[in-house]
Amino acid sequence: MPDMMRLPQSLLLLFLAATPAQASPPLWQTSAGQTVLQPLDYLGPGGKKGAVASESKVCSQIGIDLLARGGNAVDAWVGTQLCVGVIGMHHSGVGGGGFSLIRDRDGSYTVVDYRESAPAAAFEDMYRDNFEGSVFGGLAVAVPGELRGLEYAHRRFGSLPWKSVVMPAAEVAREGFPVTEDLVRYMELGIQMAGWNFLVEDPSWAQDFAPQGTLMKLGDVMTRKRYAETLERVAKRGIDEFYTGALADAMITTLQAYNGTMTLDDLAGYQVIVREVISTSYNGFRLYSSGAPSSGAVCLSTLKTMEGYSASNANLTLHRFDEAMRFAYGAHQALGDPAYVDEIGTLEAAMLDADAAAKIRRRILDNSTQPVSHYDPKHVYTAASHGTSHVVTADACGMAVSSTTTINTLFGSLLMIPETGVIMNNEMNDFSIPGRRNEFGYEPAPANYIRAGKRPLSSITPVIVELSDDPSSESGSTSSGAGKIFAVVGAAGGSRIISSTMQVLYQILQNNASMTSAIAEPRFHDQLMPNQVLFEYTFDNSTVASMADKGHDVAWMPVWMSAVQGIRVESDGTFEARARLTSHFTTSSRPPRDSGLAKSTSIPPRWCRDPGENGNGEFLGYVGDIPCYSCNLRDSGLSDPNSNSPLWNADKKVYREATTRDEDKAFPSE
């Protein structure tokens, strides 16, 4: 396959159509790291007029400028989101889709579902003997919804003209933006995952990524002139240009040339769905989120379980939190598109019910974890989620937006439309595939099987929190809030979106943490399958050891595997907008302190080369998406190689990360 993957796009899909399913997940399925650099901004003295948080300072500034020109939170979100699709094209853009939770100034809530949908020709078994077809090429592409979603929200809630909110992103694409460390890493990883240098060797990609014949480097100015023209046409003529006009013709021609089945009718017929808002109470707060096929219920149900516990020591609280998370992820397997799966609303209501949360607490043992079957008796799994981008905005009038978009894996389907510069999603891979068990032998979840027009299950979890006037009110579905905005939160990072969002919420709601400190706290992740809990490197070793003592299979993960954006509104109306500011060259985001959930200490990454004569921590390069350092072993907390440490690979002379999928990690050649 590596030789085949070096073929031009014009021949690639001919080989992929005959490729059998692989026994183990490829690299793209195990590498969903997220990094956020300079993501936040404010408006007005003391930050009282509005706030924007995204993955790009350039894009956040567009949102702030739109607020300053009289726009509201929806205007700021649309402008920021379109810019993110320009700069963060590896995981976002108009070739994808997403979900948005919008709070209007009157306190009413709306969930806008513009998730990609399966084309009319899609069917349940279409990838049974062609798994790679769900990842690369035209057959992997679901009908994109981002522009429909943004236009719907703007038409209903926005205040500035459509052209005014779209054109700033077009200008960024035309004038250019600097290539960041983040983009360099994703370009390298994208090439590695594809198996060939498509960014340089494919003419469509090379126009943007290698205009001089070599891949763009850190600090170079990248332009996306075709994408700029696409956005400009949409700004001036409306989104029908994209769904029924010349832009649609170009898209369908390319997709069908690469084995795709999407038609012009699929594009023209795509519609936004306005879904029910779900909500629950938590210790005097009211939490609102989006239901299936997104994953708000998984996040809120975990917090509902934790609400019933009294204060305890950090290690016990962490264990209980993990157990509650495992129950919630177990229920996640039964969720899907409500139009195709019966009783989704009933299931979500049960997940948020106080009595159900009490039953879960009774099933949690304080001294040990339990087998997977205890949390998920059906023994099924859902497809893993991948790269995403999150934006949060708020204004002084009470309007707020929490929104996540995606094109799924890095650079989506690896198809760029030559005429428009649009990168197409591979969202069909988010469906479960019949007959394809995961690496632990579990069957795929029938609730997420492919159907024509269906939308795949997503980990996207937008949340808005209010100070509740009636904290005792029942959980369930409601479209109207009565309190004051307290926080707007969401995350990027595939399946880690849910766990990251709930932990930040726990910190600000339970511990009254600032948004800054809540997002900086070390995080853990346990999605039940694989049966393992992952800890960021900044977790205290003794805390992790306490989890291992309770029977948890523990391992480590880098701090950039998820990225949370959040806004907190103080009692005086001041906005605090924050996102984790991680860098490839740091291992700790802040000084250690006791968080009440976990303690933070500065622990270097578990990927280290033999220090030899250079033991000063010099950065050497990347191993997959994980940085490799030359570490001073005495300072790293790792044992000497002569002690037979299970993390020491004597042949490679490296320390390696503790993981159940070591075979998916590639070491550099000596």
**Residues assigned a catalytic role:** 388
Length of the chain measured in residues: 670
Q: Which two tokens stand for residue 210?
A: 């290698």
The C-alpha angle with vertex 225 and arms to 222 and 228, in degrees rounded to 5, equals 110
DSSP 463: E
CB distance 128 to 248 below 8 Å? no
Q: Which of 300, 329, 296, 302 is nearest to 533 (CA)?
A: 329
Instruction: Give backbone dihedrals phi and psi of 377, rounded to 5 degrees, phi first.
Output: -65, -15
* Separation between Cα atoms, residue 468 and residue 283, nearest integer Å: 9
Nearest to 615 by CA among 638, 643, 590: 638
Would you call 103 helix, strand, or coil by DSSP? Answer: strand
What distances in angstroms separate CA 528 from CA 333, 374, 432, one per listed residue? 10, 10, 17
Alpha-carbon distance of 609 to 598, in angstroms, equals 29
Q: Is the dihedral of CA 429, 432, 435, 436 positive or negative?
A: positive
Tell me the C-alpha distance between 304 and 324, whole Å: 9
Question: Residues 142, 456: contact at Cβ < 8 Å?
Answer: yes
**CA distances in angstroms from 353 to 276, 309, 333, 500, 624, listed in the order given:** 17, 15, 18, 22, 42
Burial of 13 (0-12, 13-18, 19+ CB in 10 A): buried
Spatial distance between the Cα atoms of 548 and 546, rounded to a whole number of angstroms = 5
Tell how far CA 532 is from the center of its chain.
20
Return the closest-CA partner of residue 579 out of 560, 599, 603: 560
Burial class of residue 208 (count of CB atoms within 10 Å of its CB; 0-12, 13-18, 19+): buried
Q: What is the 3-state secondary structure (H, E, C) of 388-438?
A: EEEEEEEECCCCEEEEEEEEECCCCCCCECCCCCCECCCHHHHCECCCCCC
Rounded distance between C-alpha atoms, residue 589 and residue 600, angstroms: 9
For 562, which DSSP code?
-
> Max Cα separation, the chain?
68
Amino acid at 41: D
Using the structure block, give the residue that is written with the tokens 């346990």: 526
Residue with the two structure tokens 């085949």: 4
Report the SS3 class of residue 20.
Answer: coil
CA–CA gap between residue 71 and residue 397 (Å, rounded)? 11
Which residues on neighbouring strands pair with residue 275, listed in sequence order? 111
